[in-house]
């Protein structure tokens, strides 16, 4: 795992069941599932510095892997440095956002460091997601 730069961004796919009526991801979209050791995200700058181009490339990469992206699902776009600073300030917890080594998806990354207080971390991350930082999954 290699740490990603604070100035970069990641996207988290949020299925329709984790998106509210306004199209904004709910807190549960940022909570780790019982079978996850870390919170999966995708590094946008891996593909392109332009957000829209990068989101399209992430979408394509996930679809190529067989991911089931639904029409009402969303991508929440997160600023790496902002996420780390908010969690540190609010919870005193240091998070890491690292690139994973996967041959089938160069953008594959993870938010690492919140197994004990996952719901509190998820709440902090969700608070950072504004409507202008959400994109349709398909």
Q: Per residue of the chain (138 residues), what is the pLDDT tens digit?
A: 899 999 999 999 999 999 999 999 999 999 987 777 789 999 999 999 999 999 999 999 999 999 999 999 999 999 999 999 999 999 898 999 999 977 778 899 999 976 666 789 999 999 999 999 999 999
Q: What is the pTM of this model?
A: 0.93
Which distant-in-sequence residues (6+ apart) come within 8 Å of 84 by Cβ?
6, 94, 95, 96, 97
- Residue (of 127, 32, 17, 34) closest to 83 by Cα position: 127
The whole-angstrom distance between residue 70's C-alpha and the CA centroid of its chain comes to 16
Six token digits for residue 39: 């919170």
């Amino acid at each position: 795992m290699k740490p990603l730069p604070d100035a970069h961004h990641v996207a988290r796919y949020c299925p329709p069941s984790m998106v509210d009526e306004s199209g904004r991801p709910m807190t549960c979209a940022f909570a780790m599932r019982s079978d996850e050791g870390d919170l999966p995200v995708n590094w946008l700058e891996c593909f392109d510095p332009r957000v829209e181009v990068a989101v399209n490339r992430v979408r394509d990469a996930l679809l190529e892997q067989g991911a089931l992206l639904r029409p009402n699902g969303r991508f929440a776009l997160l600023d790496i440095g902002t996420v780390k600073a908010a969690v540190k300030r609010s919870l005193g917890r240091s998070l890491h956002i690292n690139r994973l080594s996967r041959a089938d998806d160069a953008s594959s990354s993870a938010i690492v460091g919140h197994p004990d207080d996952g719901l509190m971390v998820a709440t902090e991350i969700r608070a950072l997601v504004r409507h202008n930082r959400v994109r349709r999954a398909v």
